[in-house]
């Protein structure tokens, strides 16, 4: 792990340069304590070193400076090194998780060094032994505070490979927090799609694999093993003789998987958390969607990064965090196998048909904690009493869920039922053992219920008995010394002492067995040999009780982990049931349907809706449903219509219906038949990507190129206003050519929205193209959008009316309308080949009624250049100012 930088920050703090590791000072002449720091730091130069010192984690030197800036905590100094004070900062151990979370989010990695011996039992002068027991990195988190409950947290490892002489990428991804472990070997060109689908938190890859937008997530460079070694080591890690037991892996997958496992092991100082056996996903199996498609469709995240106006945000009715994660996984990887889709559909359809069972199941799920994440912590010896309680409650929830599933069941539910009932007594044991409620940490004590372990009860009795003795002793002292108000108190440094009020101090000093330890403002503290003895006994009893409690806890953890696979399978089943009931909830009001997913290339949606737009409209207006027919003989739907008429909405709704249908979920339509789509491309109104220095047009063309290279006859391509980022003629020409390619060479199902209504004339030449338009109604000289898709071409663009709606002042609107009329007249007389009004306009530039003589007029030119369809209200206003500014010139010219 050498040679990597300190930080991979998306949000660099000014205090340090994320690209270069801060220099570690020369350790020569360090104090013994600092020498230990230097030694630990040398093994983890690219991480911040959290050095445990009592109740704090301390950071030193550049680490301290970086952390103090990132966490906004005080930077102090301690001791000296090489003649200068040592910068230092620290975070309290009990609050460390919150600080860790912030550092991880800012792209740091953290090495946590703990005290490996008890400071109290230490002999000699050497510093306490400390070791790095964990490397905290974005892709290997297990703490709830550091994780998003409803989303996986993936570590992805990549390796180069070849398969049938094609370049492939071996990919292995795992979630340490849940044990998920999968691999795939997609063609190298599909890497962006895979990255978009997985959204990994951290990526291990050789420098030769470029990660694009995901580059900031690149982890340290690690050494890959040769394929044969990798296969053997991977099998060994899972206690198998050969990898073949788990499925068929390409070399590259095995290499990547081993890379991931090795890295996880390093971060956990040699311990491997519980991981499922790696499951190769095969070559096909999921609907390919690249990053632009995913972000454009706003499946899991909206453009603004939120989840409110997303597909998942609209359809999520899951009741558990694990269910939410599974739903997210289904939506990010819709299937391309009709049988599997039908299995999922059968599951929620059954729940829909059995509402009582669904209600029982939901009641059970509401009590189900996050079993998978509890297991992950327990398997790394970092679990607490609450994690065991999660297993207890999870088992209870599973039992209750199983009780809901009665009668002949569809396959998915029957499969879940088979693994839900775990009849091993673990639940009873945990119920008997754990106090209710359990404390957060084992050290808090009292996590084991009295009566469960006789030995523990005995130690506790001793401890508590000593306390009783203490109470008796206090009474005894009070009588013996004649000071009724005397108290026995525990003091952090002095142990048990007698506290006496001021007026009694003189009297007490006369007793030789009482030693004055400390004066106070209103009294004094005394110790006695008896108290010292009792102090020791109580401490010992308490320590013995705590030790016994730890032993009982460890035993319970081992008992639970003996069944880790069973428990993990059960957790998975609960998660799938949760998604099934969520789907049933969505379908229940009857507005969503079960689509017919078929192996052919059909595409019929009757009464389809956009779930997110519909939800956003809720209450204010009714969403207008629209049909969509992309049957093989009419597979190219060309959609024209003015701005704001609903084109983009229609496009996306059909793409989303495919995602939902192939994820095995209900779709927002009356009826739908979806012939399986292998790749989905959605290009919707590319936003300027100024951050990466690319113009709208460049982005649009890059994305168009990707479609033309990758789409095939089973794909669905949804394109929104291609070519609008450039001059009209360019744009029209490009849109035209792309349309021809999609129609002829690629032959995929396509919905193509455009404001170039000239393109509708192509229907004569492209037999499978069907022009459609968004219906609008003219009402009192204004335009009313009906949001209805109808066959035919747009009569006109209504751009002028939209400009009017947007508040462009009346004179300009009137003038634009007049110009439009003249342009239209020209194009109508110029013959069928000149279906390009603006082109026609440039060949005969003279408008009918030039206001400023026959010279080409700047005002006219400026007006002619305006495309109201493409103006925001703000741009329209700017345009108006520009036009107005041209006026005096024109007036002088006329004079």
Which of 60, 61, 623, 798: binder of ligand ADP (CB under 6 A)? 623
With CA atoms as reference, report the closest residue to 783 among 623, 649, 643: 643
Part in contact with ligand ADP (CB under 6 A); list of ranges 195-203, 289-297, 469-477, 616-624: 616-624
Residue 264 has, within 13 A of its CA and on its CB side, a CA count of 31
Contact present, 787 and 624 (Cβ < 8 Å): yes
Q: Which is nearer to Mg ion, 263 or 798 (CB)?
A: 798
Q: Where are the beta strands (DSSP E) in 670-748?
A: 671-675, 679-683, 716-720
Of 453 and 869, the one with the shorter C-beta distance to Mg ion is 869
Min dist. Cβ of residue 673 to ligand ADP (A): 21
Kindly tell me which of 180 and 613 has the beta carbon lying closer to ligand ADP: 613
Site for ligand ADP in 746-805 (CB under 6 A): 787
Residues 637-676 touching Mg ion, rule: CB under 5 A, are 648
Residue 748: CB minimum distance to Mg ion, A: 21
Least distance CB 771 / ligand ADP (angstroms): 15
Q: CB-wise, 316 or 643, nearer to ligand ADP?
A: 643
Q: Which is nearer to ligand ADP, 234 or 774 (CB)?
A: 774
CB nearer ligand ADP, residue 398 or residue 645: 645
Pick the closest to residue 481 from 524, 431, 537 (CA basis). 524
The interface region with ligand ADP, picked from 109-117, 463-471, 561-569, 617-625 by CB under 6 A, is 617-625
Shortest CB 881 distance to ligand ADP, Å: 25
Sequence-distant (≥ 6) Cβ neighbours of residue 571 within 8 angstroms: 322, 371, 372, 375, 394
Q: Measuring CA to CA, how many Å separate 416 from each of 330, 336, 570, 580, 600?
A: 17, 22, 8, 11, 31
Classify the C-alpha dihedral 766-772-778-782 as positive or negative. Answer: negative
Nearest residue (CB) to Mg ion, 36 versus 754: 754
Q: Is residue 615 near ligand ADP by the rule CB under 6 A? A: no
User: Please, what is the minimum distance in Å from the beta carbon of residue 657 to ligand ADP?
Assistant: 13
Query: In this structure, what token pair is assigned to residue 275?
Result: 């991981």
Per-residue binder mask for ligand ADP (CB under 6 A), 629-658, x = binder? ------------x-xxxxxxx---------
Tell me which stretch binds ligand ADP (CB under 6 A): 101-109, 376-384, 620-628, 663-671: 620-628
The least distance separating ligand ADP from the CB of residue 604, rounded to whole angstroms, comes to 18
- Please state, in angstroms and rounded to a whole number, the distance separating the CA atoms of residues 421 and 163: 42
For residue 179, the 8-state DSSP code is: T
Residue 186 or residue 642: which is nearer to Mg ion going by CB?
642
Identify what 654 binds: ligand ADP, Mg ion, none; CB under 5 to 8 Å per kind.
none
Closer by beta carbon to ligand ADP, 161 or else 641: 641
The CB-of-784 to ligand ADP minimum distance in angstroms stands at 12
String marking each residue 539-568 x if it binds ligand ADP according to CB under 6 A: ------------------------------
**Terminal-residue alpha carbon distance, the chain:** 79
Closer residue to ligand ADP, CB minimum distance, 130 or 647: 647
- CA nearest neighbour of 363 among 319, 407, 410: 319
Residue 647 beta carbon to Mg ion: minimum distance, rounded to whole angstroms: 5
Residue 659 binding: pick among ligand ADP, Mg ion, none (C-beta 5-8 Å cut-off by kind): none
Q: Is the dihedral of CA 305, 308, 311, 315 positive or negative?
A: positive
Using the rule CB under 6 A, give the single segment among 284-292, 474-482, 619-627, 673-681 that binds ligand ADP: 619-627
CA nearest 716: which of 698, 697, 742? Answer: 742
Comparing CB distances to Mg ion, the nearer of 94 and 303 is 303
Q: Count residues near ligand ADP (CB under 6 A).
A: 14
Among the listed residues 762, 757, 795, 791, the one whose alpha carbon sits nearest the alpha carbon of residue 776: 795
Side-chain-side CA neighbours of 273 within 13 Å: the count stands at 31
Choose which of 372, 545, 613, 665 interacts with ligand ADP (CB under 6 A): 613
Of positions 542, 560, 624, 794, contacts ligand ADP by CB under 6 A: 624
> Please, what is the Cα angle at 135 between 134 and 141, to 5 degrees?
95
Number of residues that bind Mg ion (CB under 5 A): 1
Residue 768 tokens read as 């499978």
CB of 815 closer than 8 Å to CB of 857: no
Q: What does 666 interact with, of ligand ADP, Mg ion, none (CB < 5 to 8 A by kind)?
A: none
Judged by CB under 6 A, the chain residues 711 through 730 that form the site for ligand ADP are: none
The residue to which tokens 């006695």 are assigned: 528
Q: What is the DSSP string of 821-879?
A: HHHHHHHHHT-TT---HHHHHHHS---SS-BTBSSPPHHHHHHHH--GGG--HHHHHHH
| Partner that binds at residue 604, options Mg ion, ligand ADP, none, CB closer than 5 to 8 Å by kind | none
Least Å distance between CB 669 and ligand ADP?
12
CA separation for the pair 432, 451 (Å, rounded):
9
Tokens, residue 498:
């007698």
**How far apart (Å, rounded) are the C-alpha atoms in residues 63 and 49?**
7
Residue found under tokens 């691999």:
183
The vertex-274 CA angle with 102 and 215, nearest 5°, equals: 45
Enter the DSSP assignment of 333: S
Instruction: Supply the minimum distance, in Å, between the C-beta of residue 585 and ligand ADP.
Output: 24
* Residue 852 Cβ vs ligand ADP, minimum distance, rounded to whole Å: 35
In the bound state with ligand ADP, the residue whose beta carbon lies nearer, of 582 and 643, is 643
Query: Which residues of the shown chain bind Mg ion in the complex (CB under 5 A)?
Result: 648
Q: What does the binding site for ligand ADP look like in residue numbers (CB under 6 A)? A: 613, 621, 623-624, 626, 641, 643-649, 787
């Amino acid at each position: 792990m050498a040679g990597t930088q300190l930080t991979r920050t998306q949000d660099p703090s000014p205090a340090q340069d994320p690209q270069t590791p801060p220099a570690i000072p020369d350790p020569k002449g360090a104090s013994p304590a600092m020498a230990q720091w230097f030694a630990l730091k040398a093994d983890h130069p690219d991480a911040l070193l959290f050095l445990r010192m009592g109740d704090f984690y301390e950071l030193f030197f550049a680490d301290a400076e970086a952390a103090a800036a990132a966490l906004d905590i005080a930077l102090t100094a301690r001791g000296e090194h090489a003649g200068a004070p040592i910068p230092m900062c620290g975070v309290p151990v009990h609050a460390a998780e919150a600080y860790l979370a912030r550092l991880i989010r800012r792209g740091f990695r953290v090495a946590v060094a703990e005290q490996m011996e008890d400071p109290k039992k230490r002999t000699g002068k050497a510093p306490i032994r400390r070791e790095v027991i964990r490397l905290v990195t974005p892709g290997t988190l297990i703490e709830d505070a550091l994780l998003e409950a409803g989303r996986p947290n993936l570590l992805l490892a990549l390796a180069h490979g070849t398969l049938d002489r094609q370049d492939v990428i071996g990919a292995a991804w795992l979630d340490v927090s849940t044990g998920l472990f999968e691999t795939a070997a997609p063609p190298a060109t599909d890497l962006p799609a895979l990255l978009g689908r997985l959204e990994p938190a951290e990526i291990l890859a050789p420098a030769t694999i470029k990660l694009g937008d995901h580059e900031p997530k690149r982890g340290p460079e690690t050494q890959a093993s040769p394929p044969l070694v990798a296969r053997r080591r991977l099998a060994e890690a899972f206690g198998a003789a050969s990898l073949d037991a788990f499925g068929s892996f390409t070399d590259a997958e095995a290499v990547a998987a081993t890379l991931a496992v090795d890295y996880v092991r390093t971060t956990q100082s040699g311990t491997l958390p519980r991981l499922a056996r790696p499951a190769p996903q095969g070559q096909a199996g999921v609907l390919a969607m690249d990053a632009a498609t995913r972000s454009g469709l706003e499946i899991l995240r909206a453009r603004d990064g939120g989840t409110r106006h997303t597909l998942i945000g609209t359809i999520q009715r899951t009741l558990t965090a694990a269910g939410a994660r599974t739903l997210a996984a289904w939506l990010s990887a819709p299937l391309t196998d009709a049988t599997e889709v039908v299995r999922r559909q059968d599951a929620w359809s059954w729940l829909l048909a059995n509402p009582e069972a669904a209600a029982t199941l939901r009641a059970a799920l509401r009590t189900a904690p996050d079993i998978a994440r509890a297991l992950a912590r327990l398997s790394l010896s970092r679990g607490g009493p609450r994690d065991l309680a999660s297993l207890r409650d999870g088992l209870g929830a599973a039992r209750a869920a199983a009780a809901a599933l009665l009668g002949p069941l569809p396959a998915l539910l029957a499969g879940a039922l088979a693994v839900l009932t775990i009849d091993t007594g673990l639940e009873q044991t945990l119920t008997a053992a754990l106090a209710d409620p359990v404390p957060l940490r084992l050290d808090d004590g009292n996590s084991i219920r009295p009566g469960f372990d006789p030995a523990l009860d005995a130690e506790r009795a001793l401890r508590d008995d000593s306390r009783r003795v203490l109470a008796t002793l206090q009474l005894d002292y009070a009588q013996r010394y004649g000071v009724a108000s005397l108290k026995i108190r525990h003091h952090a440094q002095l142990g048990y002492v007698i506290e006496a009020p001021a007026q009694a101090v003189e009297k007490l000093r006369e007793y030789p067995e009482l030693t004055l330890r400390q004066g106070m403002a209103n009294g004094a503290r005394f110790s006695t040999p008896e108290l010292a003895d009792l102090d020791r006994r109580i401490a010992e009893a308490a320590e013995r009780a705590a030790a016994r409690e730890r032993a009982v806890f460890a035993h319970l953890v081992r008992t639970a982990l003996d069944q880790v696979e069973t428990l993990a399978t059960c957790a998975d089943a609960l998660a799938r049931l949760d998604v099934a009931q969520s789907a049933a909830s969505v379908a229940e009001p009857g507005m969503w349907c079960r689509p017919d997913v078929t192996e052919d290339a059909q595409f019929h949606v009757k009464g389809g809706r956009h779930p997110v737009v519909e939800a956003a409209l809720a209450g204010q207006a009714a969403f207008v449903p629209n049909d969509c027919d992309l049957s093989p003989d009419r597979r190219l739907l060309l959609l024209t219509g003015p701005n704001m008429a609903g084109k983009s909405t229609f496009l996306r709704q059909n793409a989303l219906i495919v995602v939902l249908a192939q994820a095995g979920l209900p779709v927002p339509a009356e009826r739908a038949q979806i012939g399986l789509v292998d790749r989905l491309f959605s290009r919707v109104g590319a936003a300027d990507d100024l951050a990466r220095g690319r113009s709208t047009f460049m982005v649009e063309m890059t994305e168009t190129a990707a479609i033309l290279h990758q789409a095939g006859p089973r794909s669905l391509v949804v394109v929104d206003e291609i070519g609008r980022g450039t001059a009209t003629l360019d744009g029209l020409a490009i849109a035209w050519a792309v349309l021809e390619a999609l129609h002829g060479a690629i032959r995929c199902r396509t919905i193509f929205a455009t404001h170039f209504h000239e393109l509708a004339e192509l229907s004569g030449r492209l037999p499978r193209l069907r022009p459609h338009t968004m219906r609008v109604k003219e009402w009192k000289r204004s335009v009313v959008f009906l949001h209805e898709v109808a066959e035919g071409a747009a009569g006109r663009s209504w751009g002028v009316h939209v400009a009017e709606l947007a508040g462009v002042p009346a004179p300009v609107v009137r003038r634009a309308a007049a110009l439009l009329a003249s342009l239209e007249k020209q194009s109508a007389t110029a013959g069928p080949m000149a279906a390009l009004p603006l082109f026609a306009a440039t060949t005969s530039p003279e408008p009918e009624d030039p206001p400023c003589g026959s010279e080409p007029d700047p005002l006219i030119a400026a007006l002619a250049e305006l495309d109201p369809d493409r103006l925001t209200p703000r741009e329209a206003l700017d345009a108006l100012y520009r036009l107005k500014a041209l006026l005096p010139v024109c007036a002088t010219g006329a004079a």
